[in-house]
Amino acid sequence: MIKQLLGVARINFLSLTVVCIALAAAASWQAGFSFSPQRLVLVMCLGLCAHISVNAFNEYFDYKSGLDLLTERTPFSGGSGTLPAYPDASQMTLVLAVLSLLVLIAGGLYLATELGWRLLLFGLPGVLLIYGYTQYLNRSPWLCLLAPGVGFGLLMTLGAYWVLADSLSLAAVVLSLIVMLLVSNLLLLNQFPDVEADRQVGRRHLPIVIGRQASAVVFTLILSGSYLVLLVAVVFEVLPWQCLLALLTLPILIKLLPGIFTFAEQPRKLTQFMAMNVLLCHGYPILLLTGLIWAS
């Protein structure tokens, strides 16, 4: 049972949540706010519950739709493969998804009683996104593109900053925007190998609607946009210059972009570039938070 639960929770992907909330904590500390370790632990637990819930819902709905039986899995796409291997675990997966969501809702309501009802402006869209991503948002190409980034950037990272600092700042908005762009791109590239299978179950993400080559152009624009946002924020002193440490990821980008364009129509050869994209999506925020700590 433990093995199946860890599988549908996609435990190996939960590190992204840790990075996002650590970035929010570093930003609030650099801005001069003190926060309690207990609140940081609570925010981290709620973030992990959100991530586990959306993963488990995705596993459950993809199995029920038959998509899991059509998809050729890679280490970064096509689901964990847990439910096709253990069909009896499907109800347990749904229970995990719902319980994780209920814990998130309870924790969010508790924080809202402490910090004010406006925190629900982050919580309510987050709950809807968690449940609706697989079932509904995947049928709209632009919503499907934006939803992961909104969830991890504008809702999780910026929401965590608000809880920890009890306020918002332009710097926090900029950091959450960078995370939004990176995470939306992470899911965009991971959709490349799944085009044929996803089309059969009615999904309509960008690689299906405009093709892989055009989606590679969108990927390039989004990734370039993240670096442009960083440079503008540093020039106008919204972020400290030490955040330029994130430019150390440029060698990854220089290898990543040509590979995507070269192998866009050969998904089996994209795996190494999907791995680079995962590394970029983690390394970029880690270097940002390192710069923020340095600036402190």
Look up residue 90 and give its two tokens.
């499907």
Q: Quick: pLDDT tens for 82-96.
A: 888 888 989 999 999
Predicted model pTM = 0.95
Where does residue 229 fall: left (phi above 0), alpha (psi -120 to 50 degrees), or beta otherwise?
alpha
Q: Is the pLDDT of residue 77 over 80?
A: no
Q: Say what the pLDDT of residue 5 is.
A: 86
Q: What are phi and psi of 236, to 5 degrees?
A: -90, 10
Confidence of residue 153 (pLDDT cuts 50, 70, 90): very high
Q: Quick: pLDDT tens for 7-19.
A: 999 999 999 999 9
Confidence of residue 138 (pLDDT cuts 50, 70, 90): confident
Q: Say what the pLDDT of residue 201 is.
A: 86
More confident residue, 87 or 20: 20
For range 166-195, the mean pLDDT = 95
Q: Say what the pLDDT of residue 71 is.
A: 81
For range 12-33, the mean pLDDT = 96
Q: Say what the pLDDT of residue 29 is.
A: 94
Task: Round the average pLDDT of the chain to a whole number and report it.
Answer: 93
For range 93-114, the mean pLDDT = 95
Q: Say what the pLDDT of residue 249 is.
A: 97
Q: Quick: pLDDT tens for 266-279.
A: 988 999 999 999 99
Q: Is the pLDDT of residue 69 over 90?
A: no
Look up residue 198 and give its two tokens.
């996803």
CA distance 220 to 214: 10
9-15 own/partner pairs: CB under 8 Å, 24+ apart: 9/52, 9/55, 9/56, 9/96, 10/55, 10/59, 10/80, 13/51, 13/55, 14/48, 14/51, 14/52, 15/282
Domain ranges of the chain: 2-295
More confident residue, 243 or 68: 243
Which run of H or of E encompasses 295? helix 271-295
Q: Are 206 and 191 in contact (CB under 8 A)?
A: yes
Beta bridge partners of 77: 74
Q: Say what the pLDDT of residue 139 is.
A: 87
248 three-class SS: helix
Q: Domain 2-295 maps to which CATH number in 1.25.40, 3.40.50, 1.10.600, 1.10.3470?
A: 1.10.600
169-183: b (≥16 Cβ within 10 Å) or e: bebbbbbbbbbbbbb
For range 166-192, the mean pLDDT = 96
Q: Is the pLDDT of residue 48 over 90?
A: yes
Q: Say what the pLDDT of residue 190 is.
A: 94
Q: Say what the pLDDT of residue 239 is.
A: 98
Q: Is the pLDDT of residue 178 over 80?
A: yes
Q: Are 226 and 182 in contact (CB under 8 A)?
A: yes
What are the Cα distances from residue 132, in Å, to 67, 136, 141, 204? 17, 5, 14, 15
For range 75-104, the mean pLDDT = 90
